[in-house]
Structure 1
Amino acid sequence: MEDTEKGSTQHPDSVPEVGEDAVTSVGPSPPPPALTEEERQELQEELLKVEDEIQTLSQVLAVKEMHLADLKRKLGITPLSELRQNITKSWQEVTTSTAYKRTSETLSQASLKASAAFSTVGSAISRKLEDVR
């Protein structure tokens, strides 16, 4: 525990990592700026308004998601068919990529060269076997 305390005192201005508790890693925050009662009331009202908007948007999103699921159900679109469609689309994107085309060409050339080499080795073995007879 001592090492972690030393680490935080050595770098008091360090920025907390994503997911790190800023309160424990950086230390006490500066006091909020002095606000008049009127400013505080306005900010409080704005906060309530934004929270209300977020709640409304969440409700609208939930309704839209239910509607989407209902439309998909009526059209017979299942999660499996969506997955199949996504895989097909992804495979088409892969096969049309430059990297895939280059790799495919290289493997094709390697296959031709390997076939030729095996054929040459096979012919050489056949000739040697004929010579032995």
Structure 2
Amino acid sequence: MDSAEQDLLKPESVPEGEDAAATLKDTLSDEEQEILRKELEKVEEEIQTLNHVLAAKERRLAEIKRKLGVTPLTELKQNISKGLQDVASTNVYRKTSETLSNAGQRASAAISTVGSVITKKLEDVKNSPTFKSFEEKVESLKSKVGGPKQSTGDFEEVLNSAANASASATEDLTEKDEENH
């Protein structure tokens, strides 16, 4: 390239705006315009050649991937996996993970404490004089309705048997009442 051609290619020598092309063309000599036209053709040919080479490389790449069994879905999975690994290696992710882990441990401890408190309160209620009195009344009702105490079950068994006994007593009364009418 000669110095005139190099001057034309410098960014600061190119005018800007809508009339830049017309203004620049008017300032160029016929010889300079011809040089630029030839260079334009050469660059366009190089771009076209590079596009052909790129298309051929892309076809070859697709062929190799097909032979290896690499599908777009496989590539997507690999990209996502790599992206997740990249994210997991960041300081922000590690700090957030540690914070959430600590919060989870604290929540677990709090829930365990609440469960212990509730269990303790239920035991206190079961051992309270009011509950014992209620339990004795249910036992008494059961012995009056269902006969002598057959087993020493827990409170739930006592309630169930008392309910069954009162249901059968109600049925007996209903049958006798129907016979009298």
Instruction: Give TM-score scaled by structure 2 length.
Output: 0.55
Matched, 1:29 2:19: yes
Structure 1 CA distance for aligned equivalents of residues 18 and 81 of structure 2: 53
TM alignment of 1:43-122, pairs within 5 A: 43-122=36-115
Decide which moves more: 93-102 or 42-51.
93-102
Structure 2 CA distance for aligned equivalents of residues 40 and 94 of structure 1: 54
Partner of 1:38: 31
Gaps of 5+ in 2: 1-16, 127-181
Q: Where is the helix percentage greater, Structure 1 or Structure 2?
A: 2
Gaps of 5+ in 1: 1-26
Instruction: Give TM-score scaled by structure 1 length.
Output: 0.73
Structure 2 CA distance for aligned equivalents of residues 117 and 96 of structure 1: 31
Structure 2 CA distance for aligned equivalents of residues 43 and 132 of structure 1: 100
Aligned Cα root-mean-square deviation (Å) = 1.8
> Any idea what SS the aligned residue of 1:77 has?
coil
Structure 1 CA distance for aligned equivalents of residues 51 and 18 of structure 2: 34
Q: Kindly tell me: are residues 28 and 66 of structure 1, through their superposed partners in 2, closer, same or farther at Cα, counting changes over 3 Å?
A: closer
The number of residue pairs the alignment matches comes to 108
Partner of 2:10: none
Paired AA for residue 32 in structure 1:
T
